[in-house]
Structure 1
Amino acid sequence: MRHDRTSVRRTAAVAASALLAIGLAACSSGASVIVDPNPDKPFVLDGVSNLTEIAQLTGPDAINDTSSVSVAGTDLGSMVNVDDRTYFFFGDTFGERDPESIGGQGGFWRSNVAAWTTDADPSDGITFDDWVTDDIGLAAALTEGDHDANDAEGEVTKIPTYGFAVGETIYVSYMSVRHWGEPGAWDANHSALIVSRDDGASWMPVEGVQWPGDSNFVQFATVPVTEDGVDYVYFWAIPSGRFGGVQLMRVPATEEAVEDQTSYEYFVGADGAEPHWSSEMSDAETIVEGTIGELSVMWSTYLDRWIMTYSDAGTAYIREGATPWGPWGDPHELVSGADHPGLYSPYLNPRYVSGDGQTIYFTLSLWGPYNVFWFSADLERAS
């Protein structure tokens, strides 16, 4: 992702020992969330407190030795849980990088890489068990971008936006970037899926499933849900860049459906507690207005509500939803851009919570060091 702000790291204490009781609720391992369609529940999120930068996950000075797999700079870090593993999906990755450089630049460029972990204790950071590697043990691209010139004539890179699992099969959505523009603005050729059926060791394209680059379905956040007894994967979607609102899509949680473009449905509105869906992407209704960048969604067991995190104008926000399609409450500041210049991509994972879900842990990218950091914050619930 492109940013032009420098970054200042915030040094903070490691999470207090009281947070060591990790709250692995039913949905934490990737199990489906049962959808309650009642839109009339009151909002209960008052904000966040005790924001803590716990650790740097990638690059120089990180708690993981990423230099051994030639990862000197990378970003993003969305997550998907498969059994006891959690996969982290990173964006443009550079193996050689001048310590004084700012943002995404350097040598040995790969468009996307992934690490995995069985670390179940997020309170002191996440230690990676291994990476998806090439024949000599270096972090390998899951699906390499063409690395064409940034002239809007080809494909500059393929950026992973989110992953999800259907049984043991892992899918990752990506956007094909055609042109990086001004900060927060870029153009896409399309978005699409890749799939792994061997625990992430190898990846291949999902043929025939693709969304237009000028649509609202370019960057995703995904959650497995159960609606009326049927298992689905829900996709909260935004356009390319950081200047669009959120729309919602679903697909039955089977490999056959995920790999069939006609199986996807788009949220078009609700009558009270009755949602309506259409097979036509053009019918999709915007469920969150605003300028939403790199979003993440999960069910909060502490709030008994949906929560969404994202960046907007250089600050990270969190808001709650009564249902997957809303209504969605007002945004609360999660991480200040004044304290962490160049931040983006606050990604959640229901596996990484503590204190019965009150404390959330999340990845956050900082543009200046161009690496991924691990944060925590406490949700404040109205009494």
Structure 2
Amino acid sequence: MKLLRVPIVMVLLSGLVSAGPAQASSAHSPAIVVSKMTGPGSVSATDTNWKIKATDLGVMWDNGSGEILAAFGDTFGDTWQPPGANGDDWRSQVLLRSTDRNLADGMSFSSAATDAPGHAKELIPSKKIDGDEITVIPTAGVSVGTRQYLAYMSVRHWGEPGVWTTNHSSIAYSDDNGQNWVTGGPRWDNLGGDNHFQMAAFVRRDGFVYMYGTPNGRNGAAYLARVPEAAVLDKAAYRYWTGSAWQPGPDTLATPVVAAPVSELSVQFNAFTGRWLMTYLKGSDVVLRTAPAPTGPWSGPAVVAGFADFPGLYGGFMHPWSSGPNLYLALSEWTPYNVYLIRVTLNRDGSITNPNLVRDPSFERQTTGTVSAPWAVHGNGGIDQATWAFTADRNGFVRYDRGWHDLHQTVPVTPHTAYTLSGWLRTSPDNDNGFFGVRNPGGPPFAEVNFGAVGGWTKFTVTFNSGSRSSVEVFAGIWTDNGDMWLQLDDFALTRT
């Protein structure tokens, strides 16, 4: 997981250590991968357009003028190599802007806060001295009028997995759409190490800005405060929820609205459900809870993305323009050290519906280089365990110099129902006859696309009606009769259309 930060600008890859939790969840992940938001191969090629080759988080908010502002955490430039945070051109945070309202095909960015053409700037300086201030990380953003507010934490030291210490949290503001930021706003010091508001989530509603907070690290509960929207920079104006009333400080009066462990919160009021939504990292999974009011009561947690399918996951920040039943989130993963747009579908009551029906969709549950259930291989294939997967640590592959080779999985479906199958593929340069689609189990395909050479990871999609079938076989494969060829597969999804 993204549990250890890098305390120097340039590190050797062999010096990186990243450890998962003691007991990782095996929960199925209903989320599907929509696109890559940052880094090489991202929708907006952030590595070449703004020198954002590797980054994390992706805290998003509506700037009030038709744009989404997205603040990312520790960011690295051209020399970054997976896994994890490393490389030159270290910026503690960067900001990208988006006007993209069609999230079904990914999220694009149109501009960045820059200090030179083609280079995203560091928004708030940090000392980058371990034991003093190693970095300054954005945790929440909100707009009031034309002013943008950014909550951040000053990190003193990254410790054991899931544990870090902060000096304080504070709020900066910008009056030029995030290009320049003024610090010195309200501050929550962490001298005793247990302040409730070191990481934040903002929601503006009904004349207030609600601020949800958690302590430093990933083991604390969630707390709540609010402030009149015109007084965000006045700490004396904040009122803390005690469980029965809003009270002025000290912030120690606040009582938990969600029990520990809670970290990397994202909260919004969702118009489609008419409920408040909260996503956060709970142990090793990103979960969703809902409530009728900002104070709760909050529903039980439902897994959005689980560790078993997205190893190294963290974050899970909701896109403010998620509309209708589709809820989009920015999800970070450690090995590719970049951010992905994922999606779940909601019922009117805020519960998750229409999950991804493919089991082990990203091949991350495979424990060896040999393909195992629920996947099967025809011909020659296996599991790559390296740093070139589309997401996380693993992907499937087939390779040979003659004949048909594929990976496939049988998936139960509902008869007479429309479905969409998607998956991410890339091939050797000489591939001339690949296929991706759906077939009768053990039989011929009935919906497929044919492809040639695919250079970078590319999303393929097939739509079909199940007809009288109660199961289908999803597959991707290549004919290799013209020399040595290979195909790599990752992040399959099958959902109702």
Relative distance call for 1:48 and 1:237 in structure 2 (3 A) is: farther
1:154-233 → structure 2 map (5 Å cutoff): 154-207=132-185, 209-213=186-190, 214=193, 215-226=195-206, 231-233=207-209
Matched, 1:379 2:346: yes
Matched, 1:109 2:90: yes
Q: Counterpart of 2:148 in structure 1: which amino acid?
A: I
Q: Deviations over 1:22-81 (max 9, x none)?
A: xxxxxxxxxxxxxxxxxxxxxxxxx99852101001111111121231111000001111
In 2, Cα distance between the equivalents of 1:48 and 1:119? 30
Mapped contact 2:137–2:153 kept (Cα < 8 A): yes
Mapped contact 1:251–1:264 kept (Cα < 8 A): yes
Q: Counterpart of 1:95 in structure 2: which amino acid?
A: G
Q: Deviations over 1:203-260 (max 9, x none)?
A: 11134x100223010111111111xxxx110011101111100100111101xx1121
1:285: which partner in 2? 255
Classify the secondary structure of the residue corresponding to 1:204.
Answer: coil
Relative distance call for 1:246 and 1:84 in structure 2 (3 A) is: same
Q: Counterpart of 1:94 in structure 2: which amino acid?
A: F
In 2, Cα distance between the equivalents of 1:324 and 1:365? 26
Classify the secondary structure of the residue corresponding to 2:3.
Answer: coil
In 1, Cα distance between the equivalents of 2:107 and 2:187? 33
2:35 alignment partner, one of 55, 60, 83: 55
2:292: which partner in 1? 322
**Structure 2 unaligned runs (5+)?**
5-17, 21-26, 352-497
In 2, Cα distance between the equivalents of 1:344 and 1:189? 22
1:312: which partner in 2? 282
Higher strand share: 1
In 2, Cα distance between the equivalents of 1:381 and 1:200? 34
**Per-residue deviation at 1:98?**
4.2
**Per-residue deviation at 1:277?**
2.6
Classify the secondary structure of the residue corresponding to 2:335.
Answer: coil
1:92 alignment partner, one of 57, 66, 74: 74
Q: Counterpart of 1:294 in structure 2: which amino acid?
A: E
Matched, 1:360 2:327: yes
In 2, Cα distance between the equivalents of 1:259 and 1:300? 26
Mapped contact 2:29–2:305 kept (Cα < 8 A): no
Mapped contact 2:38–2:339 kept (Cα < 8 A): yes
**Per-residue deviation at 1:304?**
2.1
Q: Counterpart of 2:83 in structure 1: which amino acid?
A: I
In 2, Cα distance between the equivalents of 1:276 and 1:174? 24
| Runs of 4+ off more than 4 Å | 47-50
**Structure 1 unaligned runs (5+)?**
7-46
Moved more, 115-124 or 49-58: 49-58
Mapped contact 1:236–1:249 kept (Cα < 8 A): yes
In 1, Cα distance between the equivalents of 2:19 and 2:83? 8
**Per-residue deviation at 1:321?**
1.4
1:341: which partner in 2? 311
Q: Percent identity?
A: 35
Q: Counterpart of 1:93 in structure 2: which amino acid?
A: T
Matched, 1:269 2:251: no
TM-score scaled to structure 2, two decimals? 0.63
Q: Deviations over 1:170-199 (max 9, x none)?
A: 010100000101111100000011111012
Classify the secondary structure of the residue corresponding to 1:282.
Answer: helix
Structure with higher RCO (Cα < 8 A, 6+ apart): 1
2:233 alignment partner, one of 239, 248, 259: 259
Q: Deviations over 1:83-115 (max 9, x none)?
A: 20100000000013443x311111110000000
In 1, Cα distance between the equivalents of 2:222 and 2:342? 24
